[in-house]
Amino acid sequence: MSAMKTQLKTRRSDQLGFLYFLDFLVVFLGISVSFWMNEWNSDRKNNSLHHVDIHALLVDLEHDYQSLNLVYDRILEGDAKAFRLLEVIQNRRAQALPYDAFVDSLISIGYVYNYSTFFMVDATYKSLVNSGRIQSFPVEVNMKLRDYYEAVAKQVDDNNHLVDGVAMNYYNEAHPFLNYMLMDTNSIEENRLFFKDEAIRQHYSNLQFYFRTLALKDRIKLHQRQVVVYMAKLNQLDSLVRSHAALEGAIETTPDQNNH
């Protein structure tokens, strides 16, 4: 009898233990599934947000590309005009060009260099850094992003100040007619009248006008070389971001998309 009671107690104990185990298993699985679902949802939201960041970044880079192209076109135009102006000054100094023809040439050339400077769009990059989402990008892309938006941006800012300063000083001091010419209502005769003043004539006959124009052309050429460097950095970063985007399924690439 005693043995039967012991067996019954043991059986009940085993049953209770099994029930407790089932309860524990249900709770464990419930928590695990809930945790997995939360993690899955979080990963899905993070991936979706990363795709948004990639697209926003590519839009910013495309804007920079368009801006650099405009600046580069203005540089080519300015370089050509500066070269032409130097020829005119040389011809005048060699007495091969009468003063009136010299004046008409200055009027015809007009604004030598429209000092267009490049300003990169960095709103997405700043958002990525501030939110920490920049860490979602591979190490190589991360490093190139920081190089472009920090090191290159500093070079751009410094170069912009130099270009703007040289151009502004040139128009204010060396070639003041360009400021006068900004009055759109000026007729050709009014523009010619500007050069009739004897002090103005002496100013434009001075060798300093040639030197300052030469310095402006040199600065334009240096600016051109800098912009070529910016373009190379931009193309390299754009290619890396597009390759990463393709791997992430954020965009579909075609052979010519990685090169502007």
Q: pLDDT tens-digit profile of 191-231?
A: 999 999 999 999 999 999 999 999 999 999 999 999 999 99
Residue at 3 is within a domain:
no
Residue at 17 is within a domain:
no
Exposure pattern of 64-92 as b/e (b: 16+ CB <10 Å)? bbebbeebbebbebbbebbeebeebbeeb
Nearest-angstrom CA–CA distance, 73 and 249: 35
Rg (CA), the chain: 35
Q: Is it the case that residue 257 has pLDDT exceeding 60? A: no
Q: Is it the case that residue 255 has pLDDT exceeding 50? A: no
- Region 166-188: mean pLDDT is 85
- The reported pTM is 0.78
- Region 21-29: mean pLDDT is 61
Nearest to 159 by CA among 233, 232, 222: 222
Instruction: Determine the residue type at 219.
Output: R
Residue at 106 is within a domain:
yes
Give the pLDDT band (50/70/90) at residue 63.
very high
Nearest-angstrom CA–CA distance, 61 and 223: 20
Give the pLDDT band (50/70/90) at residue 240.
very high
Residue at 136 is within a domain:
yes
Residue at 213 is within a domain:
yes
The whole-number pLDDT of residue 256 equals 46
Residue at 45 is within a domain:
no
Residue at 30 is within a domain:
no
Alpha-helical segments (H) within the chain: 2-93, 99-109, 123-131, 139-146, 153-169, 177-181, 188-194, 198-205, 207-248
Instruction: Determine the residue type at 105.
Output: S
Q: Is it the case that residue 138 has pLDDT exceeding 50? A: yes
Q: Is it the case that residue 247 has pLDDT exceeding 90? A: no
Residue at 154 is within a domain:
yes
Instruction: Determine the residue type at 180.
Output: Y
Q: pLDDT digit string (tens) for 96-130?
A: 999 999 999 999 999 898 877 888 999 999 999 99
Q: How many domains does the chain have?
A: 1
Tokens 């524990």 correspond to 24
Structure tokens at 189: 């005769």
- Beta carbons within 8 Å of 18's beta carbon, 6+ residues apart: none
Nearest-angstrom CA–CA distance, 242 and 100: 57
Q: What is the extent of the structural domain holding 239?
A: 53-248
